[in-house]
Structure 1
């Protein structure tokens, strides 16, 4: 039988097939768009916990289905159920806080007026110099913005019934996908690895870096956010500050932003407490904010992230903000991962360029050596 003919030229049919691959891939991505978040978190769960599933499967004598079920039930118990309960509690507290503001039990305007009255004269003159002395207008606008924000959160109670089916469907897709990726992650990973049109060394290096970045990002953001938000909520609750759960969740969210972080929440609160005469509470909040909440980020994040995936803070900040803007809450993972892969690709390009230059230099040196010492 005659062997297949080898082709070394690019033909028109090859271009047509590449176009077909691109079009079908884009169409499939468009098809998955309604469940983008579910697919994303299913893939992240597999990346984070597939090694654990494989080890558990070996200990159970190769019973992969049992090992995957145990890991998946653990993920539901540790992550899914607490997140749902937190969301319910958050909506309830936002509703309660909104009702207290609407009924006048919490007077935001009076709080701003008391803050203005407690300011030193020099600060008041500075404020007046820059045209910020119209506290009546500021008080009304600030109070209305807080009220409308809380009303928006509370209003989600009315849409729970409408969004319940979509949420359950998304959660089901995520768990279903996670099961198969946790059980057969190596198989699907090899399929993706073999299909990538890259040189073996470049492909393996980028895949390894991608997995490393995803795991480090999840450890360095989610864990730190949960710890800082939990500590912030406990501290606010102990100090008797209204809406401690809401402030704790917001601190956890803002902890995703480097440099500023949780200070966006606790610093203005401490200033207000100082200005209104609550010196003891203010001092406690400043101490806890700097030496407890702040130290979590300084100590825990480097341990969880590691040096291999450390990026400049300005890159992380811009990538996180851009990711949140483009992809919503999912962007706090997507943004830093894209930025890290961008840096990895260009680092790979630099290394390839250096290797080629070094090889060319060695070849030139070899030719010069041969000319100087002919045999």
Structure 2
């Protein structure tokens, strides 16, 4: 009796201490997650470097980390800086009245006379929408001006998170195998099941991050190129926006180029509008429909509809990190049920 009480008390304290430790790490959760993801993605490179230079884990981890910084971190920081600059310029033009969302909506209503009637049947007041767009544009300009005052603090926090992520990535690259073995010993799920789950985690994380980021880069570059070719203002800004939105399968980049094409039609630029629609549907859309199933669905071994819903759910619950976590949770869900069906349902009744 006393032994059971001690065991239960110990397990309760173990759970409590683990939860408290998780709360302590909560402010750095994003940095920890991306450190794990980067170490998983670049572990094959780490292994190749070890094979070449011999058993020198510190040097191999450092070389791998430097390679990651050069090809990932620096380009992302440069693009983010350019995106912020173009975004600030765009909102300043709205604040000065050079871009008026209400006027744009009025031009669309004039060009498409059936639109007001259609929206009225749907219960949408076009005048109210126009006023809300104007108010939102002014509010956005004020918000951006307020955020500019705290940019120094935000930038400092961002740099700290990046530094912590890179610091942790170095140790995960160097000691990742030992940490995995330690977790296999610690978790009471069965070594074979745990190895399968860790293998699936690595497989899905690598496929989701590499696949989605590659699709986002391709769609953002194509979108920015066609905006530049058609002389649409802010091609870099809209290219980055399309890259982020392309994390949403099937519809992402279309949320940008389709409204712009409608505006071009409304202003009489029929040729530019037609070119944008054709390029968006055939080239940008083809990149999504061809690359995503090949790079994400095939490697994660998840159906396309599961990838779509898990990505949308992850983004809505966890923000930008959700495009990885959503499919990862879906894959682990399917692995757990696969283990259950194979190992438990086939057991003879007691």
Contact 1:91 1:153 in 2 (8 A): no
Name 1:60's counterpart in structure 2.
53
Aligned equivalent of 2:117, options 120, 125, 128 = 125
TM alignment of 1:15-34, pairs within 5 A: 15-34=8-27
Please state how far the C-alpha of 1:39 moved relative to its aligned partner. Answer: 0.7
Q: Deviations over 1:257-277 (max 9, x none)?
A: 223221111122212222322
| Counterpart-to-counterpart distance in 2, 1:131 and 1:167 | 43
Please state how far the C-alpha of 1:336 moved relative to its aligned partner. Answer: 1.9
Name 2:89's counterpart in structure 1.
96
Please state how far the C-alpha of 1:324 moved relative to its aligned partner. Answer: 2.6
Name 1:6's counterpart in structure 2.
none
| Counterpart-to-counterpart distance in 1, 2:296 and 2:174 | 26
| Counterpart-to-counterpart distance in 2, 1:156 and 1:82 | 24
| Counterpart-to-counterpart distance in 2, 1:300 and 1:228 | 10
Please state how far the C-alpha of 1:103 moved relative to its aligned partner. Answer: 1.5
Q: Deviations over 1:267-294 (max 9, x none)?
A: 2221222232211111111121122111
Please state how far the C-alpha of 1:46 moved relative to its aligned partner. Answer: 0.8
TM alignment of 1:321-332, pairs within 5 A: 321-332=312-323
Aligned equivalent of 1:293, options 269, 284, 287 = 284
Contact 1:320 1:332 in 2 (8 A): yes
Name 2:64's counterpart in structure 1.
71
Please state how far the C-alpha of 1:10 moved relative to its aligned partner. Answer: 7.6
Name 2:270's counterpart in structure 1.
279
In the superposition, relative to structure 1, how do residues 46 and 142 fare at CA in structure 2: closer, same or farther (>3 Å)?
Answer: same
Q: Does 1:236 align with 2:234?
A: no
TM-score normalized by the length of structure 2: 0.92
Contact 1:95 1:151 in 2 (8 A): no
Q: Deviations over 1:41-84 (max 9, x none)?
A: 11111111122112112201223222222211121112111222
In the superposition, relative to structure 1, how do residues 231 and 60 fare at CA in structure 2: closer, same or farther (>3 Å)?
Answer: same
Please state how far the C-alpha of 1:313 moved relative to its aligned partner. Answer: 4.1
Aligned equivalent of 2:79, options 55, 62, 86 = 86
Aligned equivalent of 1:51, options 37, 44, 62 = 44
In the superposition, relative to structure 1, how do residues 151 and 57 fare at CA in structure 2: closer, same or farther (>3 Å)?
Answer: farther
Equivalent residue pairs, number: 349
Q: Deviations over 1:79-120 (max 9, x none)?
A: 111222222211211111111112222232222111110104
The range that moved more, 198-207 or 134-143, is: 134-143
Q: Does 1:39 align with 2:32?
A: yes
| Counterpart-to-counterpart distance in 2, 1:23 and 1:165 | 33
Contact 2:31 2:165 in 1 (8 A): yes
TM alignment of 1:181-330, pairs within 5 A: 181-307=172-298, 309-330=300-321
User: Is there any run of 5+ residues in structure 1 with no aligned partner, and where?
Assistant: 1-8, 361-375
TM alignment of 1:128-139, pairs within 5 A: 128-132=120-124, 134-139=125-130
| Counterpart-to-counterpart distance in 1, 2:132 and 2:180 | 53
Query: Of the two, which has the highest radius of gyration?
Result: 1
Name 2:133's counterpart in structure 1.
142
Aligned equivalent of 2:344, options 353, 358, 367 = 353
Contact 1:38 1:173 in 2 (8 A): yes
Instruction: Give 3-state SS (helix, strand or coil) of 1:11's partner.
Output: helix
Contact 1:91 1:157 in 2 (8 A): no
| Counterpart-to-counterpart distance in 2, 1:128 and 1:140 | 16
Q: Which runs of 4+ in 1 moved over 4 A?
A: none
| Counterpart-to-counterpart distance in 2, 1:186 and 1:348 | 24
Q: Deviations over 1:129-180 (max 9, x none)?
A: 4444x54432221122234335434543322211233222211211111011
Contact 2:108 2:262 in 1 (8 A): no
In the superposition, relative to structure 1, how do residues 305 and 332 fare at CA in structure 2: closer, same or farther (>3 Å)?
Answer: closer
TM-score normalized by the length of structure 1: 0.86
